[in-house]
Chain A
Amino acid sequence: MIVKLDWFIVIVGLLLLSAAVMALLDRHNPKRYSSALFWALYAAIYLAGEQIPPAVTGLMMVLMALLAGFGGVALGRHSERTAEQRKDSAQRLGHRLLIPALLIPITTMIGSTLLKDVQVGGALLLDPKNLTLVSLGCGSVLAVASACWLTRATPMQALRESRRLTDHLGWALVLPHMLAVLGLLFTEAGMGKAVAHVVTSYINLDIRLVAVAVYCIGMALFTIIMGNGFAAFPVIAGGVGIPVLVGVYHANPAVMAAIGMFSAYCGTLLTPMAANFNIVPAALLDLPDKNAVIRAQIGTALPLLLANIALLYFLMNL
């Protein structure tokens, strides 16, 4: 393959490293040394993660968590343009501003569909294992280039803007990453078996509706704990879905699987553990309440979970 994921790992490493350097040079940041250390540690994970011994990267992760958790990562000072200036350039540039913004999703789409099997000189153009990420990376590079060309800004300014947003996200940026680590650890520690054991030993599954409800609510609850429907599915399908719904009540496995996974997604809408979907957007949108997105989703997730129970109950034997 020609375009590899490693390139973008290095690009992100360099972005984080520049954020560290800019934080270090920022005299207005009250916590500039600890902030710089935080970003530098994260940059090292991308630039040299595979060369550093695992015990050391583990220690680095713990140190990053402690720095972030005890308020060591502070917002630096950024030169923002005034609202007037932004309105002026919005009027001057008009719809052309949308071109670089839309280049990101459009390139990602084209890359992951049309360019999937394209070969140049006998090698695949895009890394097939990480097609979407590589396409997104290409789209982002194209978007920066066209945005610089359109606004006559320097690439250095783009770097400063990237730092402004990473600074703004702060710890919310590393939370999804650390949660993914916790998820792997949970799996390794045998969490799935423990939960399935508790569910099946203490609840009476002899009533069809109870069994269906336990399956759907179990999916949602386990997803709330793990933050990821993919982690919940094997546990609850293996513990309740297959032995009880299919084994005892002869449910159609396709219906059991489809509605089970969607019940898990109802859980995803409700948990801070799914930080990428729920906590990061609250930070991205400057919401003072970090659970604001979850609150906005409760009204959809709970009725939908009830609807799933009803749908599974009526559709599973069709």
Chain B
Amino acid sequence: MQQTVVNLWPLLGVAVIILGFALRAHPVLVVIAACAVTGLAASMPVHQLLETLGKAFVKTRNLPLILLLPLAAIGLLERYGLKEHAQASIARIRSATTGRLLIVYLAIRELSAAFGLTSLGGHPNMVRPLVAPMAQGAAEVRYPALTDELRHRIRAMAAATDNVGLFFGEDVFVAFGAIVLMQTILRGEGLEVDPLHVAMWGIPTAVTAFLIHSWRLHRLDAEIARAMQRGEGQP
């Protein structure tokens, strides 16, 4: 009988994460606590743990660039009324509703990601300055007394739409990193797959994702209408 020894102690790190988020502790503290517990569970001495953390922190410093680099330009444009302009432009299109606008954005985002143009959207450079203000503006034209609660809901949906479009579009693109990763891992296990086939078999899910999310966006319009009617009925 084959005996394999698997060290289960690192799972304690996962327990810390779950517990931390369940107790609504500060996320940054949860992460650092999980780092400490995982390191100790893997019996790393403190000095080595700090070295591992430090090396990884410097190695991954490219990650925040995508968020930080556009901020100066976006901030300056906001100061000169970019959001207000986006809202005023959408108000001129009579047939525009929050749901319809976000469905159009979902289609553009998912299709462009499927052609490898993943940088066309994004939270700091598209959602904050343009998509969210437009989605909110479309609802404000119809309901000038839009509640803050609905405003937040619309903005959250705008961010969600960007994510759904990106995730389920990019995997249909052959040259995307995830497909290369899948191919490399399967090759390591002795399975040869054609990247084109992996991309193609992603299409059914990509279409389903579009249908489910646009149906929800469609219902968002009804949800806003219902909430505002209820609000008007009250004194």
Instruction: Please give the residue numbers on chain A whose beta carbons come within 8 Å of chain B beta carbons, in ascending order.
Output: 5, 8-9, 11-12, 15-16, 45-46, 49-50, 52-62, 65-66, 68-70, 80-81, 83, 86-91, 93-95, 97-98, 100-101, 103-105, 108-109, 112-113, 130, 132-133, 135-137, 139-140, 143-144, 147-148, 150-151, 153, 157-159, 161-162, 164-166, 169, 171, 173-182, 184-186, 188-191, 193-195, 197-198, 225, 229-230, 233-234, 237-238, 242, 246, 252-255, 257-259, 261-262, 265, 268-269, 272-273, 275-282, 284-290, 292-293, 295-297, 299-300, 303-304, 307-308, 311, 315
Contacts and interface: CB of A to CB of B under 8 A. Distances in A.
A237 B28 contact: no
30 contacts: A54-B51, A57-B53, A58-B49, A87-B81, A95-B85, A100-B73, A108-B119, A130-B62, A136-B69, A151-B80, A165-B74, A178-B35, A181-B53, A185-B13, A185-B35, A193-B7, A194-B6, A194-B9, A233-B181, A237-B185, A257-B182, A258-B202, A262-B209, A265-B168, A277-B123, A282-B159, A285-B159, A293-B156, A300-B213, A315-B204
B208 interface: yes
Contacts of A62: 32, 50, 53
B225 interface: no
A157 B57 contact: no
Nearest to A68: B28
Interface of B: 4, 6-11, 13-14, 17-18, 21, 26-29, 31-32, 34-35, 38-39, 41-42, 47, 49-85, 88-89, 116-130, 132, 152-153, 155-160, 162-164, 167-168, 171, 177-178, 181-182, 185-186, 189, 191, 193-194, 197-202, 204-206, 208-209, 212-213, 216
A259 to B, nearest CB: 6
Contacts of A161: 71-72, 74-76, 78-79
A136 B152 contact: no
Contact of A58 (B26, B51, B61): B51
Nearest to B68: A12
A162 B72 contact: yes
B185 A69 contact: no
B160 A293 contact: yes
Q: Nearest 9 pairs between A and B by C-beta?
A: A161-B75, A90-B81, A58-B54, A57-B54, A58-B50, A143-B73, A69-B29, A54-B54, A254-B197
Contact of B117 (A8, A109, A139, A311): A109
Contact of B156 (A11, A190, A296): A296
Contacts of A66: 29, 32
Contacts of A189: 10, 13, 38-39, 41-42
A304 B212 contact: yes
B180 to A, nearest CB: 11
Contacts of B53: 57-58, 61-62, 181, 185
Given A90-B80, A137-B65, A307 B160 contact: no
Contacts of B206: 262
Given A86-B81, A194-B11, A265-B168, A105 B132 contact: no
Given A233-B181, A287-B152, A315-B204, A158 B75 contact: yes
A242 B54 contact: no
Contacts of B71: 15, 161-162, 165-166
Nearest to B185: A234
